């Protein structure tokens, strides 16, 4: 395994390049002619070679291919400055049937109110079922088969991702970014006795600009707030597609598949919460550095929670290749931690085709992990993806 990993890293040390996208750039309404529909798709497949161990007996992990995943998306230009996006998971680790992940409307203009054109040159309105724009970490993660923005295979340990019905308004001018949003806090709101829930709120402030032709600096701080008495708010554990490190740390006695294997977070279901994330992104020539500091305090099922996540990621891109490393740690502020080290890289073979190699080493410490306290897993995952 080590020989395969070292050989692959040597091959990757040749060259990288695609630029990381954060919030979508404003739509060019002047180029609109008539309604236009774009159909897109994503496909991803991993070859996993991971070993794990713990004080308790774990299942025997084999070196094999994981379940392939697929997305189907539709992007529709409706009017000048108005665009609709919808994404469907055709296959995922947690759902092997097709289901709609989410969809939303972006309005960079209001053609039905032309008197607002001067105001809308700085504003973007987004409404629908979507991930609230909390933090910048979700711009570096895989969304089922859409993996091109994630330089590694696994997502963050404390992986903030959900799709809640909501509304956001964003202001951008001269590098300044300010956003306010609200949503109902739930992925499946209205199914039961939760009609009386209050709204939850999110916000973001930041600066994102090229200080020179070769130096881009982005710094943001975000908040996510759940009022007291909410029935069951979602922010973490809202990704129903499943984690990428399949079946790691699963005990031999466990039944079924823990589709979130490898992650650790406050989970969902908070009845009250305040969470904050600060991010720094610096790009200089081919070097990109990204950092996370996240802290949350909340109440879940009558129990107080207090989690902190830190992460640092460095990627160097040259030509069609990139190589880099990521360190990620989560602490429940009560003596339990999970820390992960990733080393790897990727090759954009042609446009829309990407191959990634990811070495991962993850360790669990503390009583919150129960039987797997002191356990760890490590190994390599090769991922191939097609997106268009």
Render pLDDT for 154-190 as a digit per residue (tens, 0 to 9): 999 999 999 999 999 999 999 999 999 999 888 766 6
- The C-alpha angle 314, 353, 291, rounded to 5 degrees, equals 20
What are residue 65's phi and psi, to 5 degrees? Answer: -80, 140
Residue 295 lies in a domain: yes
**Whole-number pLDDT of residue 192:** 56
Residue 26 lies in a domain: no
Of the listed ranges 135-139, 228-232, 324-328, 329-333, the least confidently predicted one is: 228-232
**Whole-number pLDDT of residue 18:** 41
Residues 6+ apart with CB under 8 A from 90: 70, 71, 72, 98
* Residues 275 and 223 sit within 8 Å (Cβ to Cβ): yes
Distance CA 112, CA 131 (A): 27
Residue 104's CATH number: 2.40.160.10
CA-nearest of 189, 183, 135 to 159 is 135
Distance CA 163, CA 126 (A): 13
Distance CA 23, CA 349 (A): 26
Residues 6+ apart with CB under 8 A from 306: 295, 296, 297, 332, 333, 334
Distance CA 79, CA 63 (A): 50
What are residue 207's phi and psi, to 5 degrees? Answer: -135, 130
Residue 16 has pLDDT above 90, yes or no: no
Residue 27 lies in a domain: no
Residues 6+ apart with CB under 8 A from 15: 317, 318, 319, 320, 321
Highest mean pLDDT pick, 67-71, 116-120, 234-238, 281-285 = 281-285
Distance CA 262, CA 258 (A): 9
What are residue 326's phi and psi, to 5 degrees? Answer: -145, 135
Render pLDDT for 188-228 as a digit per residue (tens, 0 to 9): 666 555 556 789 999 999 999 999 999 999 999 999 999 98
Residue 362 lies in a domain: yes
- Taking the CB of residue 14, how many other CB atoms lie within 10 A of it? 13
Domain residues for the domain of 288 are: 2-21+34-387
Residue 28 lies in a domain: no
Adjacent-strand bridge partners of 71: 42, 89
How many domains does the chain contain in total? 1
């Amino acid at each position: 395994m080590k020989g395969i990993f070292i050989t692959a890293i040597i091959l990757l040390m040749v060259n990288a390049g695609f630029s990381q996208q954060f919030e979508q750039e404003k739509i060019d309404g002047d180029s609109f002619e008539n309604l236009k529909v774009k159909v897109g798709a994503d496909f991803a497949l991993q070859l996993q070679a991971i070993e794990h161990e713990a004080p308790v007996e774990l299942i025997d992990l084999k070196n094999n291919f994981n379940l392939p995943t697929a997305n189907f998306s539709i992007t529709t230009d409706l009017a000048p400055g108005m665009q609709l996006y919808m994404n469907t998971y055709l296959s995922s680790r947690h759902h092997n049937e097709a289901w709609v992940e989410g969809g939303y409307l972006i309005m960079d203009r209001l053609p039905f109110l032309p008197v607002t054109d001067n105001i809308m040159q700085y504003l973007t309105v987004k409404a629908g079922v979507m991930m609230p724009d909390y933090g910048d970490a979700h711009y570096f993660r895989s969304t089922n088969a859409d993996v091109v923005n994630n330089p590694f295979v696994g997502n963050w340990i404390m992986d903030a991702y959900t799709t809640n019905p909501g509304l956001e308004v964003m202001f951008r001018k001269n590098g300044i970014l300010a956003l306010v949003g609200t949503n109902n806090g739930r992925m499946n709101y209205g199914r039961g006795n939760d009609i009386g829930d209050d709204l939850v709120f999110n916000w973001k402030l930041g600066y994102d600009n090229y200080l020179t032709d070769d130096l881009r600096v982005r710094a943001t701080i975000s908040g996510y707030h759940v009022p007291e008495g909410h029935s069951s708010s979602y922010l973490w554990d809202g990704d129903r597609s499943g984690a990428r490190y399949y079946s790691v740390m699963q005990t031999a006695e466990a039944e079924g598949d823990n589709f979130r294997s490898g992650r650790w977070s406050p989970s969902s279901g908070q009845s009250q919460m305040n969470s904050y994330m600060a991010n720094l992104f610096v790009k200089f020539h081919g070097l990109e550095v990204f950092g996370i500091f996240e802290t949350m305090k909340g109440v879940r099922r009558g129990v107080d929670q207090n989690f902190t996540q830190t992460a640092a990621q460095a990627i160097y891109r040259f030509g069609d290749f990139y190589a880099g490393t990521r360190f990620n740690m989560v602490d429940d502020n009560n003596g339990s931690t999970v820390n992960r080290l990733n080393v790897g890289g990727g090759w954009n073979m042609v446009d829309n085709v990407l191959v990634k190699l990811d070495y991962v080493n993850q360790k669990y410490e503390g009583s919150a992990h129960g039987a797997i306290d002191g356990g760890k897993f490590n190994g390599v995952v090769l991922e191939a993806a097609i997106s268009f």
